[in-house]
Amino acid sequence: MKKLEKSVPVIRFKGFSEAWEQRKLNDIVKLENGYAFKSTYFSDVPSKTIVLTPGNVRIGGGFKNGKGRYYNEISEFPHKFIFQPEDIFVTLTDLTPSAQMLGYPAVVPNDGIKYLHNQRLGKLTDFKGDKFFLFQLLSTNKYHKYIAATAIGTTVKHSSIQKILQYDTSFPSFEEQKNIGIFFKQLDHTIALHQRKLDTLKLIKKGFLQQMFPNSEEKVPRLRFADFDREWEQCKLGEISDKVIEKNKESIYFETLTNSAEYGIISQREFFNKDISNEKNLNGYYIVRENDFVYNPRISNYAPVGPIKRNKLGRIGIVSPLYYVFRTFNTNQSFLEYYFDGTVWHNFMLLNGDSGARADRFAIKDLVLKEMPIPYSTLHEQEKISSFLDEITIIINLHQNKLKKLSSLKKAYLQNMFI
């Protein structure tokens, strides 16, 4: 490790001591805009031709599968708008107000699929250096701060080819670029392996959730432990829970919680990096005690009818009166939590929700919500199911923590191996 200087990074490979050269991206690379593919040729039928979108780029950089639009190859378009394997592209548009995905890079995979270059992506060409070094440079926090600061737009953030190419940075010799590129390519490969393992485990868990709870018309689940053969009953949510109406009238509690479809019950400050609630109105918020359930009517890609999650923080908090809070009895709480992690209950919501709801919220009356049918087995079988799913969840959490540590490690290396 070398002493920090203005013209060299904190951490370097042995054998390199020359100062890095300050240059603009415009001096060493070109950026090409994409093609306006006609929406009439988009298809829902899976095919080997996909138009890439900004959604194909992960926050922090990297290619994300499962996004993009299938395209009907009958349409003619210039051949140059077909990506080649290992082409690098960056996002020029981002739908998040904080621009947290704007300008980040991704590498086109070599997986036998024809990927097409649309106009919301910029392809990097004619780079006079190591492309994997360039990829990592475009993943650094310094570069992203520049992109976020120069982005335009309110709801939808945009950047331009000209603005990106004006980024002023530093470059080492080609040999040092190559060493840095190889190092990060290996690290990214390790992270990708853990991500694939995590994605596989989540799919396995999703499959069990579908198989271990019966559908509304079924009396028993499709997958069951051998010791149980009795038919399941069906009860209403209101028969195994009470709505929580306890409000924070004395202003005893100040930690506002939010219900995230992806992360569960979480501190609002931790989720948004700031307080959203108004301290003057907290006496009207509902008190959420440990193991209380919270329904959030906000719709998202993760929760098309809004999520129902359990407070497992080990402490008491408060939530907005827009949420529905309920406390269960005569049922295994983990069992019910896993049921709400599935999608069977979505059918009831879609059939009984009010029409005319806001675009970002699902509207359903409290009295109707209490009528939601819940599949109900013996407490012994409920405990058996929840214990089994707990084991899978523990493994998933271990992989998530490992992935988080690897991502933090990469972030530290990016900060110290670039200027």
CATH code for the domain in which residue 109 is found: 3.90.220.20
**Which one, of 145, 68, 148, lies nearest residue 108 by Cα?**
68
d(C-alpha 251, C-alpha 246), whole Å: 12
Q: Is residue 88 domain-shared with residue 178, that is, in the same domain? A: no
- Percent residues over pLDDT 70 in the chain: 94
Confirm whether 28 is domain-assigned. Answer: yes
Q: 196 exposed, middle or buried (CB, 10 Å; 0-12, 13-18, 19+)?
A: exposed
Q: What is the pLDDT of residues 76-132, one digit of tens each?
A: 788 889 999 999 999 998 866 556 778 999 999 999 899 999 988 999 999 888 999
Question: Are the beta carbons of 17 and 3 closer than 8 angstroms?
Answer: no
- Percent residues over pLDDT 90 in the chain: 67
Boundaries of domain holding 245: 233-376
Q: Choose the final residue of a domain: 143, 171, 199.
A: 171
> ∠44-50-53 over CA atoms, to 5°?
100
Overall number of domains in the chain: 3
> pTM of the prediction?
0.79
The residue count of the chain comes to 419
Q: Choose the final residue of a domain: 171, 196, 218.
A: 171
Q: Is residue 93 domain-shared with residue 167, that is, in the same domain? A: yes
Q: Which pLDDT score, from 0 to 100, does residue 1 have?
A: 41
What's 61's DSSP letter? S
Contacts of 309 (CB under 8 A, 6+ apart): 259, 260, 264, 265, 293, 294, 296, 337, 340
Q: Which pLDDT score, from 0 to 100, does residue 274 have?
A: 60
d(C-alpha 62, C-alpha 90), whole Å: 10
- Helix/strand/coil for 319: strand
Confirm whether 77 is domain-assigned. Answer: yes
Instruction: Please report which confidence band the pLDDT of residue 59 belongs to, taking 50, 70 and 90 as the band edges.
Output: confident
CA of residue 419 relative to chain centroid, distance: 29
24-to-30, 93, 133 alpha-carbon distances in Å: 11, 22, 15
State the DSSP string of 187-205: HHHHHHHHHHHHHHHHHHH
Q: Is residue 157 domain-shared with residue 78, that is, in the same domain? A: yes
**Which one, of 62, 60, 107, 65, lies nearest residue 87 by Cα?**
107
CATH code for the domain in which residue 410 is found: 1.10.287.1120
Q: Is residue 243 domain-shared with residue 323, that is, in the same domain? A: yes
Question: Are the beta carbons of 20 and 7 closer than 8 angstroms?
Answer: yes
Mean of per-residue pLDDT scores for the chain: 89
Confirm whether 5 is domain-assigned. Answer: no
User: What type of residue is 75?
Assistant: S
Q: Is residue 281 domain-shared with residue 267, that is, in the same domain? A: yes
Q: Choose the final residue of a domain: 171, 199, 218.
A: 171
Instruction: Please report which confidence band the pLDDT of residue 268 belongs to, taking 50, 70 and 90 as the band edges.
Output: confident
Q: Is residue 281 domain-shared with residue 356, that is, in the same domain? A: yes
Q: Is residue 68 domain-shared with residue 163, that is, in the same domain? A: yes
Confirm whether 412 is domain-assigned. Answer: yes
- Helix/strand/coil for 373: strand
Q: Is residue 355 domain-shared with residue 260, that is, in the same domain? A: yes
Cα first-last separation, the chain: 14
Q: Is residue 260 domain-shared with residue 328, that is, in the same domain? A: yes
Question: Are the beta carbons of 214 and 226 closer than 8 angstroms?
Answer: no
Q: Which pLDDT score, from 0 to 100, does residue 98 have?
A: 57
Confirm whether 3 is domain-assigned. Answer: no
Confirm whether 13 is domain-assigned. Answer: no
**Which one, of 211, 245, 280, lies nearest residue 366 by Cα?**
245
